[in-house]
Structure 1
Amino acid sequence: MLLVAAVIWGLGFVAQRLGMDHLAPFAFNGIRFFIGALSLVPLIWWLKQRGSLTLTTDGLWRGALLCGGLLFIGASLQQVGLLYTTAANAGFITGLYIVLVPVLGLALKHKTGSNTWAGCVLALVGLYLLSIRDGLSIGLGDGLQLIGALFWAVHILAIDHFARRHAPVLLACLQFFVCALLSALVSVVLETTSWSGVIGGWQALAYSGLISVGVAYTLQVLAQKHAHPAHAAIILSLETVFAAIGGVWLLDEQLDGRALVGCGLMLLGMLVSQVPLRYLVKSRHQQPLQD
């Protein structure tokens, strides 16, 4: 489920870029998360009729408001940042949450090994090569994606906490409604939206709403009910690879040699941060002898 979500999200960066040819960022997010929330209503009704859905309201709205608020901040930074950077850059920088999840987990008394710090160093060097320009400045779009990565990491930890206490599909639906409402409120104040823009961007909205939100985020919540947050983060981080593939394939984006090395180091850092070094050493010593 997490791998499917990673593929959907990676290609979703393309849809998000294309959608803003017709709609402003907050309007696009408001509509797509509202579509995603509505898409889960029939599933919730069906599960309730079958008796497969246990409704526990104690703390549910608190979880929905917190997860939805974090989702709103992360999605807003990501969507606005896409106005100023490529889908490939956005995917790789967003993927830094894989390093941030175990680091932030220290505050929750999660164990963090030396591999995490090694992964952080590799990822930061990669981020420098990918995003830092001459004069040690970072582009606005990449900067927004970097801040957003922090909120995606916190969102994963929040989902890990609440998905074990409440029906995942219901929690997913409610957090989508919260995110959609907050996005719509900001859009009403800051943006102008027309029906022609909505109609023009219907394909991007359909993918981003039904598939990226309705399917992928729900898969994340369902999977994290049974997965360790650090393990979930490494699988979800593969969205960076699919974002780069989608950007080059569908948007004709280009990555120069420096950027490719940076992407490679970031991906390596993400992987290293999740594989305890003692396991690598142990596996080497346990290699079978050759005849």
Structure 2
Amino acid sequence: MRSPEIKADILLLVTALIWGLAFVAQRVGMDHVGPFTFNGVRFLLGAGALFPLALRAGVRAHPSDFQGAGQGRGVLVWGGLAAGAALFAGASLQQVGLVYTTAGKAGFITGLYVVIVPLFGLFFRQKSSPGDVFGAVMAAVGLYFLSVSEDLTMSLGDVLELAGAFFWAGHVCLIGWLSPKVRATRLACVQYAVCGVLSLATAFLTETVTSMGLSGALVPILYGGLLSVGLAYTLQVVAQRDAKPAHAAILLSLEAVFAALAGWALLGESMGARGMFGCGLMLLGMLASQLWPRPGARAA
């Protein structure tokens, strides 16, 4: 393995670790502020952290440079609004769900978006690989063992996290469509700002926002905004220039594992043998969905 690939894999591993620990920060932060307040401040911080990178994005050529100036700005504005709205829905369901479930469960259930994305493709008549089918089955069975109790009920938090996974999947599809048309850092900056504004507006309508609460949640908010959103996103972009897709898929999927380990080590959360078995099946499904060769990939 070449040195740049090793460095890229290390950066991706650090990215997954930061994102996994963010689930703990999100739970701890809500001891002091409401879920919409937490999301609003952290996403605006993330947008601010990415703003310098967005300004420097004009140095390298991009396909959007060959569009008309007005057309390029239009795609960035409307695309950023749409992506920000999808991000707001997914992040809100995730954050509210964390009030009622553990960080470890939230990490694994949120990670189901990697299985849901190829399933969305079926609606557009895209062929699915055997890995997509296998991954979906394993993820569904794993979700049953992780979240469904013996009396066949799910907690409200797990239901909200599952609903959020569908919005995360839709967000991934939307970003995939927008990425060739606009610069990634500029799109990220706009969508984070939109999500932050929507979250804060909802917070002022539904929650009590106080300086004391924000002060108490300062460390989790800084972690969620500057590290989870700003730094981790930058590390991912840098790493995936040199990382092999298979390595990137495996390492980023470890986000769910890190979330479970952090919840156990820092919050004393426990899933039990049944839950751990379900997590293992879900991780297997996620990896199969990402790594299984897709139809036509070899020919391409």
Q: Same fold (TM over 0.5)?
A: yes
Asked if 2 retains the 8 angstrom alpha-carbon contact of 1:160 and 1:225, the reply is no
Query: Is 1:153 aligned to residue 169 of structure 2?
Result: yes
Deviations 1:38-67 (A, max 9, x none): 11223333455x577867314111110111
Task: Please state how far the C-alpha of 1:231 moved relative to its aligned partner.
Answer: 9.0
Task: Please state how far the C-alpha of 1:220 moved relative to its aligned partner.
Answer: 5.3
Q: Name the residue aligned to 2:7.
A: none
1:34 to 14, 27, 44: 44
Asked if 2 retains the 8 angstrom alpha-carbon contact of 1:172 and 1:221, the reply is no
Q: Name the residue aligned to 1:73.
A: 89
Deviations 1:114-150 (A, max 9, x none): 2211111111111001100132111000000000011
CA distance in 1, matches of 2:61, 2:31: 42
Task: Please state how far the C-alpha of 1:105 moved relative to its aligned partner.
Answer: 1.9
1:199 to 206, 210, 215: 215
Asked if 2 retains the 8 angstrom alpha-carbon contact of 1:101 and 1:156, the reply is yes
CA distance in 1, matches of 2:35, 2:236: 23
Q: Name the residue aligned to 1:140.
A: 156
Query: Is 1:86 aligned to residue 89 of structure 2?
Result: no
The letter for the 2-side match of 1:11 is: L
Gaps of 5+ in 2: 1-10, 296-300
**CA 1:178–1:223 in structure 2 vs 1: closer, same or farther (change >3 Å)?**
farther
CA distance in 2, matches of 1:136, 1:4: 37
Task: Please state how far the C-alpha of 1:233 moved relative to its aligned partner.
Answer: 6.2
Query: Is 1:17 aligned to residue 15 of structure 2?
Result: no
Deviations 1:198-234 (A, max 9, x none): 1111100110000111123455567789999999766
**CA 1:4–1:156 in structure 2 vs 1: closer, same or farther (change >3 Å)?**
farther
Query: Is 1:99 aligned to residue 99 of structure 2?
Result: no
Q: Name the residue aligned to 2:257.
A: 241
Task: Please state how far the C-alpha of 1:255 moved relative to its aligned partner.
Answer: 2.0
The letter for the 2-side match of 1:5 is: T
Query: Is 1:215 aligned to residue 231 of structure 2?
Result: yes
Q: What is the DSSP-based 3-state SS (H/G/I as helix, E as strand, rest coil) of the residue aligned with 2:265?
A: helix
Q: What is the DSSP-based 3-state SS (H/G/I as helix, E as strand, rest coil) of the residue aligned with 2:290?
A: coil
CA distance in 1, matches of 2:111, 2:87: 15
Task: Please state how far the C-alpha of 1:98 moved relative to its aligned partner.
Answer: 1.2
**CA 1:102–1:199 in structure 2 vs 1: closer, same or farther (change >3 Å)?**
same
CA distance in 2, matches of 1:101, 1:226: 24
Q: Name the residue aligned to 1:288.
A: none
Asked if 1 retains the 8 angstrom alpha-carbon contact of 2:249 and 2:291, the reply is no
Task: Please state how far the C-alpha of 1:75 moved relative to its aligned partner.
Answer: 0.4
Q: Name the residue aligned to 1:125.
A: 141
Q: What is the DSSP-based 3-state SS (H/G/I as helix, E as strand, rest coil) of the residue aligned with 1:106?
A: helix
2:289 to 273, 276, 283: 273
The letter for the 1-side match of 2:83 is: C
Number of residue equivalences: 278
Greater alpha carbon shift after TM alignment, 128-137 vs 226-235: 226-235
Q: Name the residue aligned to 2:15.
A: 5
CA distance in 1, matches of 2:75, 2:241: 16
CA distance in 2, matches of 1:266, 1:250: 23
Task: Please state how far the C-alpha of 1:108 moved relative to its aligned partner.
Answer: 3.7
Q: Percent identity?
A: 51
**CA 1:226–1:103 in structure 2 vs 1: closer, same or farther (change >3 Å)?**
farther
Deviations 1:179-207 (A, max 9, x none): 00110111111000110111111100110
**CA 1:145–1:230 in structure 2 vs 1: closer, same or farther (change >3 Å)?**
farther
CA distance in 1, matches of 2:272, 2:108: 15
- C-alpha RMSD of matched pairs (Å): 2.8
CA distance in 2, matches of 1:158, 1:222: 21
Asked if 1 retains the 8 angstrom alpha-carbon contact of 2:108 and 2:279, the reply is yes
Task: Please state how far the C-alpha of 1:85 moved relative to its aligned partner.
Answer: 0.4
The letter for the 2-side match of 1:31 is: V
Q: What is the DSSP-based 3-state SS (H/G/I as helix, E as strand, rest coil) of the residue aligned with 1:110?
A: coil
1:190 to 182, 206, 211: 206
Greater alpha carbon shift after TM alignment, 28-37 vs 111-120: 111-120
Q: What is the DSSP-based 3-state SS (H/G/I as helix, E as strand, rest coil) of the residue aligned with 2:271?
A: coil
Greater alpha carbon shift after TM alignment, 148-157 vs 266-275: 266-275
Query: Is 1:260 aligned to residue 276 of structure 2?
Result: yes
**CA 1:165–1:228 in structure 2 vs 1: closer, same or farther (change >3 Å)?**
farther
The letter for the 2-side match of 1:25 is: P
